[in-house]
Amino acid sequence: MQKKSLLCTISLLLFNLTVMAEDGSKLWMRHKPYNTAKVTIHSKSATAEIAKKELEQYYDGKSVALNIDKSLPTNGSYVISGTQNDKKISAGSDIGLLYGAYALLRNDMTQGVNQPAFGLRILNHWDNLDSSIERGYAGPSIFWNKEMRLDTARIHEYARANASIGINGTVLNNVNASPKMLSRPYLLKVKQIADILRPYGIRVYLSVNFASPMRLGGLRTADPLNTGVRQWWKKKAKEIYREVPDFGGFLVKANSEGQPGPGDYGRSHSDGANMLADAVAPFGGTIIWRSFVYGANHKGEDRVKQAVSEFESCDGKFRKNVILQSKNGPLDFQPREPYAPIFDRMQKTPQIAELQITQEYLGQSNHLVYLAPMWKEFFSFVNPKKLIGIAGVANIGDDANWCGHHFAQANWYAFGRLAWNPDLSSRNIAEEWLEQTFVRDEAILSMMLRSREACVDYMMPLGLHHIFKFDHHYGPEPDGFKADYPLEWCPVYYHQADSAGVGFDRSTKGTGATAQYPTPYCTIYDSMTTCPERYLLWFHHVPWTYRTLSGRTLWDEMQYRYNRGVKEVEDFASIWQESKKLIDPQRWQEVNEKLSIQLKDAKEWRDTCLDYFSKFATK
């Protein structure tokens, strides 16, 4: 009997611990169930039903009326009015009602019509069909695995989280695309996923391999001007739209990093994109063509200039349903880059900015780096009104907490919120996220807001860039050079350190990359004295004894900043210690472990780089 009651107590304890365990799997969707609201709605769609269910379960009030108002736009806009106990959400479409419902649940009481800044708000998953994820640090793919098994409950949760922040599109596979993606068994999976995402207002897109007609279709060429190839794509598009009538379209990485493309046949990017555009146009589809190209055609040209060199001549030649997608900076998702000048140079082509949510070069899922300030910096140069969409390379995997680091969830969240409204401040988004996930606390908030600048300090002060270890891009390798690698992958090519100084001369006396920028940036960036210090070594080879704005020499300033970065992370670690009482044990412990790694890494960056550069600086 005694044994039995001991067993009962133990099971009860275990049960309580499991219930209390916080693994981060709920993301920011941690609303308490109230079940008090009576929700009235006159639309019968699946989307409206979801809105109703969410509010009935989680809204803390007596009644909500969901109304379609034909005078409002159908792009997801909504208006929330009324009192806490008697709310009204009006929208021009059912998806607007759902967005309004989620806004109400996060207590977003913005006055007037709340509407998205960008029509396309898309996640790009770099997920491979074998379940691995290129630059993914949060476990295997939630979409693909060898067994073709799909966890539909998880896909529902994914859809729900995305809809709650207004994401309306998702590319399900890696831009380094397998031709198998377009084969029948995979298309049936795509249909299954699309059916789950549809009521949440999310359209699916696929990355395609340009050589698919050969590698999947058995044709002898993938030349975009070949009739057989054109027919093949048309037939394939028809097959896809039969399964997924609202299919978004194709994302294409062509003639980049070894991927096939129209250039293999002497054809231009516009020839390639237009051929695909013609295939999807009858169904309302879009081709999103990436400008991330460098290498083969540009022997010796500065890598940051190559996108403009290669694409400018195509401006005005693309079909109406082609969009150009470019990374925010001209190189490759470094912790800080000047904006990519292609956004100014393509005047006639609709453009999407590609941001990277997964932290390939920012400590991956080990470092706490809140990315909203970085993206806001980009928007301060590129007017959001010039863009028709925003794409974010996802940081989502099958880990219980989805993103590998609890705070990396904030980057997924911030991406969605900024894609809806780039005018929101980094602070407001972080506050909103903390309130829904952890706790609204000034110290934790300040840690988030300072984290990107800290990362820049310990990884790339003053614009020093691409000092990362080969291949995996984690950790420093300032002496990195491999004779059999393209020069554009080697850290020594980027820092150019010698006894005279350090940094890459991209002024008109150097590679001339500054000339790709419009006025006033071309002039400002071109001179060492007017170039903002945050980009100094990006654009200039600067003498070690050069006086920086602080009065310190360049070498002293570099040491100061590396040390400042490390000190910041030390401070984050102590803020987290102080926060222990505010946070549940599991998530506190997991973040604490990550912060120790981050501190060790920050010190490694500082020590390795200072040791290496000191050999030149102190000569």
So which residues are the catalytic ones?
Answer: 257, 332, 360
> Site mask, ligand GCV, residues 559-598, x = CB under 6 A?
----------------------------------------
> What is the closest distance, in whole angstroms, from the C-beta atom of residue 167 to ligand GCV in the complex?
20
State yes or no: residue 175 binds ligand GCV (CB under 6 A). Answer: yes
Q: How far apart are CA 155 and CA 476, in angstroms?
A: 36
Identity of the residue, 237 or 331, whose beta carbon is nearer to ligand GCV in the bound complex:
331
Cα separation, 369 vs 100, whole angstroms: 29
Q: Which residues of 433-468 are buried (b: 16+ CB within 10 A; e: fewer)?
A: bbebbbeebeebbebbbbbbbbbbbbbbbbbbbbbb
Least Å from the CB of residue 195 to ligand GCV:
27
Contact 383, 343 (CB under 8 A): no
Task: Report, in Å, the least distance between residue 257 CB and ligand GCV.
Answer: 6
Q: Which one, 126 or 612, has the nearer CB to ligand GCV?
A: 126
H or E segment at 183? none
Element (H, E) at 327: strand 322-327
Interaction residues for ligand GCV, span 236-275 (CB under 6 A): 253, 257
CB count, 10 Å around CB of 257? Answer: 13
Q: Which is nearer to ligand GCV, 92 or 263 (CB)?
A: 263
Cβ proximity to ligand GCV: between 450 and 473 the closer is 473
CB of 305 to ligand GCV, least distance (A): 17
For ligand GCV, how many residues bind (rule: CB under 6 A)?
Answer: 9
- Which of 158, 186, 292, 468 touches ligand GCV by CB under 6 A? 292
Distances (CA, A) of 346 to 24, 269, 387, 525: 42, 14, 11, 21
Q: Exposed/middle/buried for 266, CB within 10 Å: 0-12, 13-18, 19+?
A: exposed
Rounded Cα gap, residues 144 and 12, in angstroms: 38
User: Which backbone phi and psi does 81 adopt, to 5 degrees?
Assistant: -140, 180
- Token representation of residue 282: 């009858």
Q: Which is nearer to ligand GCV, 255 or 451 (CB)?
A: 255
What tokens does 287 get?
């081709």
Single-letter amino acid code for the residue at 298: H
452 SS3 class: helix
Structure tokens at 511: 């590679």
Q: What whole-number distance in Å separates Cα of residue 249 and Cα of residue 230?
A: 16
CB 497 within 8 A of CB 511: no
Q: Which is nearer to ligand GCV, 114 or 128 (CB)?
A: 128
* Residues 127/175, Cβ–Cβ less than 8 Å: no
401 three-class SS = coil
Q: What six digits make up the tokens of 575?
A: 């803020």
| Residues 97-136: x where in contact with ligand GCV by CB under 6 A, - otherwise, as a string | -----------------------------x-------xx-
Q: How far is the CB of 175 from ligand GCV (least distance, A)?
A: 5
Give me the helices (H) in 353-441, please. Answer: 372-379, 409-420, 426-437
Q: Single out the residue of 127, 310, 332, 457 in contact with ligand GCV (rule: CB under 6 A).
A: 332
CB of 85 vs ligand GCV, minimal distance in Å: 50
Place of tokens 């998953």: 125
Q: Which residues bind ligand GCV (CB under 6 A)?
A: 126, 134-135, 175-176, 253, 257, 292, 332
